[in-house]
Structure 1
Amino acid sequence: LEVYQRQKRVDVPDTGVLEEDLVGFLKNLFAHWRETSSGSVFRSLIAEAQSDETAAAALADYSLGRRSHTAQIIERAKARGEIPAEIDSAVVADLIASFAWRHLLTNRLDEDEATIGKAVNYVMRGIAAPAS
């Protein structure tokens, strides 16, 4: 984990539009994982955490910090009045992380911006049919 944490941090956009910020964050994260050793290091850490309690605890602690960091993107949108105050930023951060981790673990870090945008749009708008 220390090796991973020493890597350059991922830039988090602040465009003033939540959807653009989340797409930009995921694009930057995928590029970071793809273009540096960070992706393979983090993938190995996740694998090790499946059978090693110490690694699992370290990953859980690290993930909480990253969850909080990603949730700040959501909190900025709340402060702008872009999304309702009752939205649970941590849950939204988990949804974004789930998308990212799945792509990391399946080595699909070359996802195009349109697909990333579609995934973020589904998180932003939900998938249920509008009430009639």
Structure 2
Amino acid sequence: MTSIIPDITKRTSIGAQRNPASEEAILTAAAEILSEGGLSAFSIEAVARRAKAGKPTIYRWWPSKAALLLDVYHRQKGETFYPDTGSTRGDLIAFLETLLGFWTKSGGEVFRSIIAEAQSDPAALEALRDYAVTRCRASGIILERGVARGEIQADLDIPLVMELFSSFCWQRLLTGRLDASREQLSHLVDAVLTGFATQNRHAQ
């Protein structure tokens, strides 16, 4: 059985309400520029020219290049799937494999650029922070299913723990090590689920 969770991470409109036709034209133009020329060719000016839209309109709806890139990234990623394998362990391994796999095939370069933009642009940082928070909440369905099965303790801070797993993926992305093996991912998941302190941890 596969659980399909709607992608709730898309930023809400800033300023005037977006015109659906103009929004589609802008996002399509942005995706085409990325596909044809890569990140080096991507700019608000280039998107505005291709979409025949004004730069003020784009900046009203996407306050930074990174915010626009995030929406393009969402479209590339498509609907978010959190497979239900029947166990929390299996679900977490599948989650890690799927995310690292997507970044390896297509989305990694774009997401690295978004992170890089966020280091010097406050608007980009806000967009990335919003994305990170909502993504950890959405992926929390994995651990919520574990609570329902009786596999996970009910008082767990689920978004915080999912941030731990996401942080592993982000670090791998930023250091160019997306080729984590299933054995490594299984080891990571087992360490978090079972703990890795000895039984004498409370002795002191």
Fold agreement, TM-score > 0.5:
yes
Cα offset, 1:8, TM superposition: 2.4
Task: Supply the distance in 1 between the matched residues of 2:98 and 2:179 (Cα, whole angstroms).
Answer: 11
Task: Supply the distance in 1 between the matched residues of 2:165 and 2:102 (Cα, whole angstroms).
Answer: 16
Q: Percent same amino acid at aligned positions?
A: 45
Aligned structure 1 segments of 4 or more residues deviating by more than 6 angstroms: none
Higher relative contact order (CA 8 A, sep 6+): 1
Task: Supply the distance in 1 between the matched residues of 2:182 and 2:119 (Cα, whole angstroms).
Answer: 31
Does residue 1:100 correspond to 2:169, yes or no? Answer: yes
TM-score normalised per structure 1: 0.94
Task: Supply the distance in 1 between the matched residues of 2:129 and 2:77 (Cα, whole angstroms).
Answer: 20
Task: Supply the distance in 1 between the matched residues of 2:146 and 2:125 (Cα, whole angstroms).
Answer: 32
Task: Supply the distance in 1 between the matched residues of 2:117 and 2:149 (Cα, whole angstroms).
Answer: 40
RMSD, aligned CA: 1.3
Matches within 5 A, 1:31-110: 31-36=101-106, 38-110=107-179
SS at match of 1:12: strand
Task: Supply the distance in 2 between the matched residues of 1:130 and 1:14 (Cα, whole angstroms).
Answer: 31
Amino acid at match of 1:39: G
SS at match of 1:45: helix
List gaps (5 residues or longer) in structure 2.
Answer: 1-69
Cα offset, 1:65, TM superposition: 1.2
Does residue 1:115 correspond to 2:156, yes or no? Answer: no
SS at match of 1:108: coil
TM-score normalised per structure 2: 0.62
Amino acid at match of 2:181: D
